[in-house]
Structure 1
């Protein structure tokens, strides 16, 4: 009887019973805790903040919102776009460079990111090393346009006039230090032209100046001038990219009109703070690629003058670094002072 009394209800000694119950409780607790730990490990598990450095409603803002909304469907968390305009996009870039590299702060960078690195001397970050590239989103060329009543009907007409003008031919852009500005400087260097840059405060003002006859031509994105070209007020002479723009396939490229190797396109893409985990970078790259497969996204990017084009993180890293070197050298050759 004593031996029987010393055993529990299941015939096991009390000490063994206690150990069994304790092990079961620990296993049960671990099972209950596992979903919580797993949820914390899954990325993303909260909204992602995406900064862009230009005005609300502009191209950069529209691209960030369009692609971010589609990526949110893939990621299961919203991408909340914020405008932090100022200093040509460098204010937003600085904010992202200082952020925690946890994948919850993105930068919608544009081609101006490399231009700023080439021209600005006191940036609070390194254009390449302070960021982790994720993927490009879109590339878009610029158009060289004149008034409809201009005697120049092609770039082949403009080039000799600029070469032989004693004081150079004036032209307008959205401002000093923009990609448009450097596109013109590269044209002058590559074709041996005399060009006099007239900077305006934005594409709208440059377009108005051209329509009013203040300058004979400007370099501008399609979004700024396409409607005027369609209306017969302006004429597009050339596309600055390596290929013709699908929105105006009848307009030849600069290279096709005698300036071999000329290729200037701006772009937009995602950057993270340096040090972001590889798994986060891969997740965002995948979400970007899937978002750009959407016919609606591709169509709307084309309406903005660009073509959807994702890439690997390494591809984008190389792009930023190559453009930084290219524009730094051009600024040096053209005598453009650091800002």
Structure 2
């Protein structure tokens, strides 16, 4: 039986909690599982990234992170779900390079990558690799550029689809090199790289996760990588910057977002835990094995990163003439 004195004390405590500032009551977050929307199918690079980081965050936060794959419309369907979700810290989403590109590529979107979300943290950067058939005559990037200048429009390139990073990385390359290439879009990376291997297509920019095994197996030849620095897993592949175009960088990235209006203390705690995780040797090693690198940024730094990516790829989309409904 509760004595009257104890009852009064408990009642007073409950009243103090009810009158406490919202920020104090929010400190109990997370009190239940957190959903993470991945706007692509299971098994892809974005899904793998989400699961690696999600497993580590589950331990740090004391609550499971539940992956929810919502693919479709170039990654738009999943991010629409996040944009409409309650800003309470229990629904997060993985944004990618596509969500910077889509701001210009699509005539109409049901979200705004800058205005609909609170940037949480950049997770990984995944460069692309410029590859050609093993039997191709070009041994380096300069030789390819020289050949393309001699025969404008004669050489074609494959991509995993209109508006994808594999498409626009090639468009950016062509513009900066002053050459004209013919685009052949495919429905996905697998059929595209298959035709490159067979010699039916002259070249392709493909993600490291998709193409490095083919490079290492001698099925295609890598001429350059699109990152600012060489990749630890493939240190023998020069960057396109050092090989021919000093200002060329094209990265496929993954980052964590929350609905706009999510409490700032929740966003900052998520960022702090992710930044800590991305510096752990075990996490770094997992991503390096996949051909990706980690780059811890503050929430503000990630927001500026996204804005820069939208501006950069917006210019490339307009120059390419690509558009989708």
TM > 0.5 fold call: yes
RMSD across aligned C-alpha pairs, in angstroms?
2.0
User: Could you tell me which of 54, 75, 94 is aligned with 1:108?
Assistant: 94
Distance 1:107 1:322 in 2: 20
Equivalent position of 1:138 in the other structure: 124
Equivalent position of 2:11 in the other structure: 29
Rg: which structure is higher?
A: 1
1:275 CA displacement = 0.8
Equivalent position of 1:45 in the other structure: 31
* Superimposed CA distance per residue, residues 127-161 of structure 1 (whole angstroms, 9 cap, x where no aligned partner): 21000000101111100011222111111110011
1:246 CA displacement = 1.4
User: Could you tell me which of 260, 264, 268 is aligned with 2:254?
Assistant: 268
Mapping of 1:1-339 within 5 angstroms? 25-31=7-13, 41-339=27-325
Deviates more, 1:137-146 or 1:324-333: 324-333
Relative to structure 1, the CA distance from residue 189 to residue 60 in structure 2 (aligned partners, 3 Å threshold; closer, same or farther) is same
What SS does the corresponding residue of 1:186 show, helix, strand or coil? helix
Distance 2:314 2:76 in 1: 17
Distance 2:4 2:59 in 1: 43
The runs of 5 or more residues in structure 1 that have no matched partner are 1-20
Distance 2:99 2:152 in 1: 35
**Contact 1:118–1:325 (CA under 8 A) maintained in structure 2:** no
Relative to structure 1, the CA distance from residue 145 to residue 33 in structure 2 (aligned partners, 3 Å threshold; closer, same or farther) is same
**Contact 1:223–1:304 (CA under 8 A) maintained in structure 2:** yes
1:116 CA displacement = 1.2
**Contact 1:236–1:251 (CA under 8 A) maintained in structure 2:** yes
Q: TM-score normalized by structure 1?
A: 0.89
What SS does the corresponding residue of 1:251 show, helix, strand or coil? coil
**Contact 2:160–2:189 (CA under 8 A) maintained in structure 1:** yes
Equivalent position of 1:7 in the other structure: none
What SS does the corresponding residue of 2:261 show, helix, strand or coil? coil
1:334 CA displacement = 2.6
Q: TM-score normalized by structure 2?
A: 0.93
Distance 1:335 1:87 in 2: 19
What SS does the corresponding residue of 2:223 show, helix, strand or coil? strand
1:331 CA displacement = 1.7
Equivalent position of 1:18 in the other structure: none
**Contact 1:52–1:108 (CA under 8 A) maintained in structure 2:** yes
**Contact 1:48–1:77 (CA under 8 A) maintained in structure 2:** yes
**Contact 1:71–1:290 (CA under 8 A) maintained in structure 2:** no
* Superimposed CA distance per residue, residues 64-92 of structure 1 (whole angstroms, 9 cap, x where no aligned partner): 01100101111011110110010111111
**Contact 2:50–2:94 (CA under 8 A) maintained in structure 1:** yes
* Superimposed CA distance per residue, residues 76-129 of structure 1 (whole angstroms, 9 cap, x where no aligned partner): 111101100101111110000000111110001111110111201111011210
Relative to structure 1, the CA distance from residue 236 to residue 63 in structure 2 (aligned partners, 3 Å threshold; closer, same or farther) is same
Aligned length: 319
Equivalent position of 1:6 in the other structure: none
**Contact 1:244–1:252 (CA under 8 A) maintained in structure 2:** yes
What SS does the corresponding residue of 1:232 show, helix, strand or coil? coil
The runs of 5 or more residues in structure 2 that have no matched partner are none
Deviates more, 1:214-223 or 1:293-302: 293-302
